Structure 1
């Protein structure tokens, strides 16, 4: 964990890795395996155990039906295990042979955009993970503008409307939104009195260490312009917030107003529960990251330059934009009908 922290990894990464590593160490203890010198068959058994062992129930009641990890989840856990053992090998705690057996050479027949295969194709041979299930690539979910409007109509609180509106228009990650402070909200036409040269209403996104565990993934600070409707949602939220005296001294933007501890910064679990309730009410799946996909898709459809979308989204690599191209069923239908019409004209 100190190694992750020293490398500047996100707080949530550290928390997730710690649970996965603890799961591996516990499995080794329960099965009499030396965690620092496991044999390949033992690691493959751990891989199978991950998907065959039922998950524990939530709370004190036994589960109504058994739940199991998916192969994708198992891959994430074994990937963390591999990183852990490789890092331990660098420290001299694990034999180098253990780290080397976790990978195998793989020839890339198809290369991603921008990949340099080398003059003789020497870069096409990479080291691939040996312990990994083959799984289908999951699709990325998003919400249409109509679904976002419906989700807003399902809210009864100004804070929640502002959160949804902010995520849907700025493309922020949920960790970035929960990490906002009131000093980041430059919603005046002129922010020069605040020492800011950016014109018009905007919000600043900065990486900080926050008491609620919220963390900005991007190391580069950025600002995002907002429109008047977001400013109005924020003003309505401020009136709602002023009704809770405990929130007066908290500098975080999003705070608990309706349950204890009042006035404390909102955390990931409570935000997740909020979206679950709204999704149940709306009748469709809705998660914070889906709003990020919606925002970036909207920018692309309005012909915003790719480099500008990258800066607004806080992406380190231009290729990260590739997954944010979504089409609706209606758009697919119209595209097929257009091609069919042109084909008829060609054959006429």
Structure 2
């Protein structure tokens, strides 16, 4: 790997850095590699890194540490064909020309994938084990990311009507989501801020079934993690994301439609929005830092469109 002189990286040096950010595997979270579990930085994350690099170089140019020509490489003129609502393009449209980042991957808008309540019900019915049924129910009920779910500790599960005996003042059954960097399976909560998510009585029942299943495996007794191996060696060890993907792949073949852990997150958020839950609450429950993340969740289906038209028509008839 060629070393880049940070004060004068040059165009080719910055292009190479941008590409290496997505081509080179990330180090394992646990300090030791897991076979078949290589992680790569996404293009969105690479763009965020390049933005930070650009701001650092601009800061260096302002203080004379970096040549002005280097800072000039970081952006290029771009003509806005479409402008946001309320954007003032100025006299004769002169403000349509802006500076756009040069070193930035183009990212296609991700497709919207979720599961309807009947599909989730079918998954719960056909899941062969209580552990899988609890994981499906947990993701569908709370909107947790799969990394957050796999990183849960048994002490995070406050499923009694009152948790005051364990020093928690939050009433009702709920789950605490905490970021930990030392989980033995490498699971990591994306958000750096802890939060709690209320859960339903149905999920508490699924957890009780799983606890009964887990209690029959002696090796699982001492593990602080919620999700552990129960059916193949090493028994009692926390399950990893590749294990979970295998289980969901098998379930997809059984139910006859795609079902991945990440599909249950937007399913939960969309359900909350359709049931009239305030958007600020829906943003907090899955742990979104920005309200912009909500735009991928809310979509209008045919039934909603028809209901809206019929509602307007009924109002017109009354007037």
Q: TM-score, normalised by structure 2?
A: 0.74
| Correspondences of 1:91-240 after superposition (within 5 Å) | 97=69, 100-106=72-78, 109-111=82-84, 127-131=99-103, 136-209=108-181, 210-240=183-213
- How far does residue 327 in structure 1 lie from its aligned partner after superposition? 3.7
Seen in structure 2, the aligned counterparts of structure 1 residues 111 and 143 have a Cα distance that, compared at 3 Å, is same
**Cα distance in 1 between the residues matched to 2:246 and 2:68:** 44
1:278 and 2:251 aligned = yes
What secondary structure sits across from 1:232 in the alignment? helix
Seen in structure 2, the aligned counterparts of structure 1 residues 132 and 337 have a Cα distance that, compared at 3 Å, is same
Report the equivalent of 1:79. 47
**Cα distance in 2 between the residues matched to 1:308 and 1:147:** 25
Q: Which of 215, 225, 231 is the aligned partner of 1:258?
A: 231
CA RMSD of aligned residues (A): 4.3
**Cα distance in 1 between the residues matched to 2:237 and 2:117:** 32
Structure 1 segments (4+ residues) deviating >3 Å: 33-48, 75-100, 105-109, 115-127, 131-136, 327-332, 334-339
**Cα distance in 1 between the residues matched to 2:60 and 2:213:** 53
**Which shifted more, 270-279 or 124-133?**
124-133
Contact conserved, 2:75 with 2:101, CA < 8 A, in 1?
Answer: yes
**Cα distance in 2 between the residues matched to 1:237 and 1:124:** 59
Report the equivalent of 2:219. 246
Stretches of structure 2 that go unaligned for 5 or more consecutive residues are: 20-34, 36-41
**Cα distance in 2 between the residues matched to 1:99 and 1:116:** 27
Contact conserved, 1:116 with 1:123, CA < 8 A, in 2?
Answer: no
- How far does residue 259 in structure 1 lie from its aligned partner after superposition? 2.1
- How far does residue 318 in structure 1 lie from its aligned partner after superposition? 2.3
Report the equivalent of 1:303. 276
Report the equivalent of 1:18. none
What secondary structure sits across from 2:76 in the alignment? strand
**Cα distance in 1 between the residues matched to 2:154 and 2:124:** 23
Report the equivalent of 2:39. none
**Cα distance in 2 between the residues matched to 1:153 and 1:308:** 30
- How far does residue 179 in structure 1 lie from its aligned partner after superposition? 1.1
Seen in structure 2, the aligned counterparts of structure 1 residues 124 and 258 have a Cα distance that, compared at 3 Å, is farther
**Which shifted more, 205-214 or 76-85?**
76-85
- How far does residue 309 in structure 1 lie from its aligned partner after superposition? 1.2
